[in-house]
Structures are given as structure tokens and as C-alpha cells.
């Protein structure tokens, strides 16, 4: 109603302005590892990469040298992240050179440098993420109502989990997620070559974007197979294969000679050195570990194979659907489904990886209003152990209240979901009608755990009981959401218009 009164352009500008304001507000809070020598946290890692990339020759960025001790936050993201560090590092060097001085800047923390670092994350949103979300809205919801288009923008830009990780904890997920969203919009509008290039950029910013690879692969293959003759089909596949290889070659050019250097960089990106999961993450392995001692039952080699098998098995149905009948919104649902499979079952998953299934769900907010309102809140909840450690409890509480205040009333009104119509609309409203009971139980349990953790010390024998409970509750939600997304994807077959 308010949106209609304001008019569409004003509503768009207002939502973007509020989302930026909230990003600056969250940025006033601490970041990961603030004031915690000797290694600090993710913030220091990003600052250190600026220091390394600005001062050292490009060939040495991923190499252990006297000027680049890889044991101290060595670069372990692909080249686009390194180029980004160089770019922001150059900008910060002009304004506060001591912040990224070689060797002497370790653990450098001044209020002004913190502000500069925070601004660089907001700049990433403005340059990559927000344009990508607007492109998605244009492609997927061109004919939706003014309210639905406003809700989609609100959900994608203000969902608490992503804002807290990027602008609180400190990371640049908005770049890789933005490229992936942009790729989805561009592919869905029929520009397969440009879309493939954008997806390669996403994958080369954070290897985590691999979670979407089965979706893009299946959707694009499905489209190629729709060409009339075998020759044109093979030609279309070969063309995209060439585009992907050429994009990779350009991005990796400085690291390809000698080949041993490329292998050195690649080995920096492989997470196998670490364990099955890190800290508390709401995935299958961590949630079931109190019952089944995976790490003791199997060797690391066996665990890696088990994870690969489980991930592949659960990702196949969604891929089959998109190969068989590729559709525009099916691509987003397949991205969500595939990312859920990786999050729930793959090896070495971080709690932050939940941002990957979350992105396509929020981009589809008008079609799945209940899920898009609910899942981001659960995702933020699942990351609470991490956020608490970062000193972000206040920011977490405030942002969740803000999110609830805007999303809950709209969920109470059944008109919104009825308006979207079609199979997805029905699915969305089905969830909305079942919402009161499930929703109250879910919120009640979450608040109960928070309240207990606040007033009761954990028993001596189980010091991490609250973190484990949060993990288990989040896992139940994520598993249910994964099944729901899968059902929506298969109901796409009857939805010819999408």
C-alpha cells in the first residue's frame, strides 16, 4: 500500500537508500578478530591481501617468499579476489598508506582505516550486487505488481544474514554473489555467452560459487539440447565451452607460466587440508555428529568420497529437471537446490556458505514469500555462534527485529501470495497457511535457545550445548527448505510461462 502511494521509482530509491544506511550502521559494530592479536580475523586477512597485492609483483601473490609468509593469512581465494584486493588496496594506499604498508601494517586498526575498509564493502554492493539484483528484478519480475517488485528488492538487499556477514563480520560475498545473480539474469534473458562469462567471474572471485555450477551447467546444456539438429547442439555446447576456457585463461594469465605456478595457486584454493566441517554449521555432517562420530568412523579420504557421493546424488534430480526442461525461474530454483546440496552434504562447509542457497531464494521472493521471509532469519540464527564471537550480538538482534517488523505483517496478509498465482504461488500460499503453527514453533524454539543461553550457564560436561542446539534446529529448517525448493522446481514443468 505504502509502496503504491510512493510510486515505483521512489520505492526503489528508498529501499536502496535504507539498505545502504543499514550497511553503514552495521559497519559501526566490531568485525571478526577486532583487537585480537596475533592473527585477528577475516578483516585482517582482507587487509593483509591488500598489503601483499599492492607491494609484491603479481607472480609472488600466491607464493611463499620472505615478503609473503603464507602461514599468515596467505591468499586462498581465486585471482579475481586478488585483483579486487589490489584495486581497493591502491585506493586505501592513497588515503592512509600506513594501513597497508608492507610488513609493518600487521593488525593495523585505526578508526579511519576501519571506515575505509567498511566503505570498500559498501562500494562492492553499489558496483556489483545492487545492479545485479536490479537486473534480476527486470528479467524475472518485469510484469509483477509494484508491491511484489518492491518486496523482491527489499528481500535481496536487506536479508539479515548477508548484511551481517559482509558488513559486520567482514567479507566481500556481495561480489561473487552479485556476479552469480547477474549471470542468472543475463542467461535467463537469452544471452548465454555473456552469462557464462559473468558466472566465471563469480567462480573466480570465490570458489564457493561452485555451489551453483551444476545449475548453470544443467540449464545451459538443456538449452543447447533444444536446438534443432545434433550439429547445432554440439556447436552450441562447444561455443560455451570455448567461452568458459577463454575467460579462465584471461583471468589466470599472470599465473599460468610456468605451469608449476598455476598448480601452486590451485593448491592454495583446495580446502582439503581442513576438516569435515568448521565450527558449528547447520549441515548434515555437523548436525548428526553428536549421534554419529563421522570423524572417528572414517578416514579423511573416505569422508571426502562420502561427501562427494552424497552431494552428487542429491544434486542430480535438480540437474535432470533443468536439462530436461530449462526454464528461467527454474534456473534460480536449481541454483538454490544445488547450493543446498553442497551446503548440506559437501566437505569442509562454513556456516557462511548458507548465503549461497539464500541468494536465489531471496531473488524469487514474490513467488516464495514465506520462504524468502523465513530462511534469511534462520540463516542469521544459524550463524549466531560466529556473530557472537565477533561481538555482533547487538547488530544481529537489531537487524533481525527490523527484518521481522517488515516481513511478518506482509506474511499475515494472504492477498500477496494469492496474487502471484501459478504453481509457485500456490506453493507459497500453502506454506503461508500452514505458517502460524510451524512458524510459532520455530520462532519459539529459536527464542527459547537464545533465552536459555543468555540466563543459564551450559552444563560443565556440555560447554557447547547451545551452539549444538542452534546447529540442529537450523539444520532441520535447511533440510525442509531444500525439499520444498526441490518440489517447487519440479512443479515448474507445468509452468510454461516461466
Ligand X SMILES: *[C@@H]1O[C@H](CO)[C@@H](O)[C@H](O)[C@H]1NC(C)=O
Q: Which residues bind to ligand X, rule: CB under 6 A? A: 64, 66, 69-71
Min dist CB 279 to ligand X, Å, is 23
Q: How far apart are the C-alpha atoms of 95 and 87, rounded to whole Å?
A: 13
Q: Check: CB of residue 181 under 8 Å from CB of residue 197.
A: no
The three grid cell numbers given for residue 87, joined into one nine-digit string: 584495486
Q: How far apart are the C-alpha atoms of 92 and 487, rounded to whole Å?
A: 47
Burial of 135 (0-12, 13-18, 19+ CB in 10 A): buried
Q: Which is nearer to ligand X, 70 or 123 (CB)?
A: 70
User: At CA 151, angle to CA 19 and CA 132, rounded to 5?
Assistant: 60
Q: Which is nearer to ligand X, 64 or 112 (CB)?
A: 64
- Whose grid coordinates read 550486487? 129
Min dist CB 71 to ligand X, Å, is 5
The 3-state secondary structure of 88-101, one letter per residue: HHHHHHHHCHHHHC
Q: C-alpha 293: how far from its chain's center?
A: 28
Helix, strand, coil content of the chain in percent (nearest 5): 75, 0, 25
Q: Which is nearer to ligand X, 67 or 96 (CB)?
A: 67
Q: For residue 155, which of 372, 325, 317, 460 has the smallest C-alpha distance? A: 372
Q: Which is nearer to ligand X, 68 or 362 (CB)?
A: 68
CB count within 10 Å of CB 37 equals 10
Q: Which is nearer to ligand X, 66 or 415 (CB)?
A: 66
Q: For residue 85, which of 40, 56, 51 has the smallest C-alpha distance? A: 51
Q: How far apart are the C-alpha atoms of 349 and 286, rounded to whole Å?
A: 9
Q: Which is nearer to ligand X, 76 or 467 (CB)?
A: 76
Q: Which residues pair with 65 in a beta bridge?
A: 68
List C-alpha distances in Å: 394 to 111, 170, 282, 384, 391: 20, 16, 22, 11, 8
Element (H, E) at 53: helix 42-55
Element (H, E) at 126: none
Min dist CB 295 to ligand X, Å, is 24
Q: Which is nearer to ligand X, 69 or 112 (CB)?
A: 69
Residue of minimal Cβ distance to ligand X: 64
Q: Which residues pair with 68 in a beta bridge?
A: 65
Min dist CB 132 to ligand X, Å, is 35
Q: Check: CB of residue 338 under 8 Å from CB of residue 159.
A: no
Q: For residue 168, which of 382, 355, 377, 392 has the smallest C-alpha distance? A: 392
Min dist CB 429 to ligand X, Å, is 54
Min dist CB 7 to ligand X, Å, is 57
Min dist CB 74 to ligand X, Å, is 7
Q: Check: CB of residue 342 under 8 Å from CB of residue 211.
A: yes
Min dist CB 351 to ligand X, Å, is 26
Q: Which is nearer to ligand X, 59 or 69 (CB)?
A: 69
Min dist CB 270 to ligand X, Å, is 14
Q: Which residues pair with 277 in a beta bridge?
A: 349
Q: Which is nearer to ligand X, 260 or 497 (CB)?
A: 260
Mutual angle of helices 213-224 and 192-203, in 10-degree steps:
160
Q: Which is nearer to ligand X, 191 or 261 (CB)?
A: 261
Radius of gyration of the chain (CA): 22
Min dist CB 62 to ligand X, Å, is 11
CB count within 10 Å of CB 207 equals 16
Q: Check: CB of residue 117 under 8 Å from CB of residue 92.
A: yes
Min dist CB 66 to ligand X, Å, is 6
Min dist CB 346 to ligand X, Å, is 25
* C-alpha torsion sign, points 157, 162, 165, 171: negative
Q: Which is nearer to ligand X, 72 or 242 (CB)?
A: 72
Q: Which is nearer to ligand X, 71 or 457 (CB)?
A: 71
Q: Which is nearer to ligand X, 64 or 288 (CB)?
A: 64
Min dist CB 72 to ligand X, Å, is 9
Amino acid at each position: 500500500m505504502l509502496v503504491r502511494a510512493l510510486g515505483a521509482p521512489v520505492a526503489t530509491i528508498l529501499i536502496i537508500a535504507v539498505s545502504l544506511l543499514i550497511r553503514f550502521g552495521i559497519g559501526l559494530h566490531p568485525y571478526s578478530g577486532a583487537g585480537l592479536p596475533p592473527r585477528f580475523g577475516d578483516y585482517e586477512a582482507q587487509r593483509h591481501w591488500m598489503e601483499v597485492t599492492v607491494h609484491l609483483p603479481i607472480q609472488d601473490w600466491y607464493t611463499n617468499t620472505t615478503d609473503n609468509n603464507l602461514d599468515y593469512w596467505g591468499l586462498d581465494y581465486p585471482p579475481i579476489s586478488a585483483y579486487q584486493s589490489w584495486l581497493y588496496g591502491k585506493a586505501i594506499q592513497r588515503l592512509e598508506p600506513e594501513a597497508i604498508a608492507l610488513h609493518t601494517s600487521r593488525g593495523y586498526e585505526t578508526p579511519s582505516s576501519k571506515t575505509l575498509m567498511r566503505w570498500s564493502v559498501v562500494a562492492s554492493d553499489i558496483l556489483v550486487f545492487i545492479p545485479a539484483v536490479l537486473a534480476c528484478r527486470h528479467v524475472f519480475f518485469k510484469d509483477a505488481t509494484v508491491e511484489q517488485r518492491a518486496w523482491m528488492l527489499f528481500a535481496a538487499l536487506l536479508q539479515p544474514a548477508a548484511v551481517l556477514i559482509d558488513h559486520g563480520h567482514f567479507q566481500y560475498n556481495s561480489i561473487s554473489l552479485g556476479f552469480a545473480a547477474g549471470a542468472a539474469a543475463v542467461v535467463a534473458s537469452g544471452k548465454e555467452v555473456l552469462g557464462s562469462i559473468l558466472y566465471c567471474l563469480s567462480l573466480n572471485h570465490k570458489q564457493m560459487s561452485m555451489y551453483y555450477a551444476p545449475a548453470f551447467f544443467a540449464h545451459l546444456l538443456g538449452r543447447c539440447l533444444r536446438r534443432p539438429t545434433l550439429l547445432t547442439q554440439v556447436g552450441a555446447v562447444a561455443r560455451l565451452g570455448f567461452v568458459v576456457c577463454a575467460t579462465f585463461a584471461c583471468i589466470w594469465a599472470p599465473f599460468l607460466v610456468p605451469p608449476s605456478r598455476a598448480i601452486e595457486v590451485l593448491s592454495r584454493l583446495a580446502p582439503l587440508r581442513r576438516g569435515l566441517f568448521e565450527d558449528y554449521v547447520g549441515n548434515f555432517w555437523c548436525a548428526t555428529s553428536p549421534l554419529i562420530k563421522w570423524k572417528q568412523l572414517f578416514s579423511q579420504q573416505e569422508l571426502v568420497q562420502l561427501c562427494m557421493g552424497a552431494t552428487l546424488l542429491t544434486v542430480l534430480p535438480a540437474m535432470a529437471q533443468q536439462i530436461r526442461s530449462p526454464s528461467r525461474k527454474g534456473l534460480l530454483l536449481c541454483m538454490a537446490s544445488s547450493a543446498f546440496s553442497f551446503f548440506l552434504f559437501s566437505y569442509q562447509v562454513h556456516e557462511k556458505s548458507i548465503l549461497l542457497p539464500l541468494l536465489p531464494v531471496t531473488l524469487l521472493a514474490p513467488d516464495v514469500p514465506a520462504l524468502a521471509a523465513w530462511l534469511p532469519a534462520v540463516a542469521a540464527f544459524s550463524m549466531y555462534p560466529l556473530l557472537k564471537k565477533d561481538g555482533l550480538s547487538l547488530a544481529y538482534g537489531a537487524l533481525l527485529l527490523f527484518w521481522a517488523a517488515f516481513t511478518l505483517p506482509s506474511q499475515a496478509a494472504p492477498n500477496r501470495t494469492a496474487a502471484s498465482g501459478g504453481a509457485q504461488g500456490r506453493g507459497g500460499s500453502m506454506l503461508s497457511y500452514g505458517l502460524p503453527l510451524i512458524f510459532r514453533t520455530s520462532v519459539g524454539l529459536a527464542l527459547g535457545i537464545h533465552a536459555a543461553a543468555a540466563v543459564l550457564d551450559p552444563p560443565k560436561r556440555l560447554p557447547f550445548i547451545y551452539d549444538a542446539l542452534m546447529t540442529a534446529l537450523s539444520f532441520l529448517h535447511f533440510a525442509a527448505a531444500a525439499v520444498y525448493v526441490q518440489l517447487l522446481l519440479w512443479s515448474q514443468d507445468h509452468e510454461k510461462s516461466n
